[in-house]
Amino acid sequence: MIERTLPEIRRRRTRLIAILAGYLPCIITVDLGLKALGVDGDPFLPYLFVLFMVLFAVAGWRAAATRCPRCAELFCMTRSVMGIQVGNVWTSRCVHCGLSVHDDRQ
Ligand SMILES: [Zn+2]
């Protein structure tokens, strides 16, 4: 179970970082590409922004919704504030039991 779940947690976090890091290069490439084709890209860029926000929200939710293979709690979500779960999707250890996301590599 740990051998399958910890790599999945790492993959989900990497996907989240890739979406975040890919936003600006994608916007710039699309804008420059459309300008090179003689097309005004300004009307399309807000749609591209919304697409990235949806992708980021889905990837963030998937990263946050991963359960720890040791304690079965949400790996990075700690508590509920007014009914909303809060946490840190960038944490490298389970916030409940301390299992490292790299423990399967030892
Ligand atoms: Zn745990």
Instruction: Classify 85 as helix, strand or coil.
Output: strand
Prediction pTM value: 0.79
Tokens of 5: 């779940």
∠ CA 23-28-38, rounded to 5°: 140
Q: What's the pLDDT tens digit per position in 25-71?
A: 999 999 999 999 998 878 888 999 999 999 999 999 999 999 999 99
Separation of 101 CA from ligand 1 center, angstroms?
A: 10
Provide the mean pLDDT of the chain: 90
Question: Taking 90 as the threshold, does the pLDDT of residue 98 lie above it?
Answer: yes
Tokens of 12: 């989900």
Separation of 94 CA from ligand 1 center, angstroms?
A: 5
Separation of 53 CA from ligand 1 center, angstroms?
A: 29
| Amino acid present at 27 | I
Number of domains in the chain: 1
Q: Which domain holds residue 97?
A: 2-105
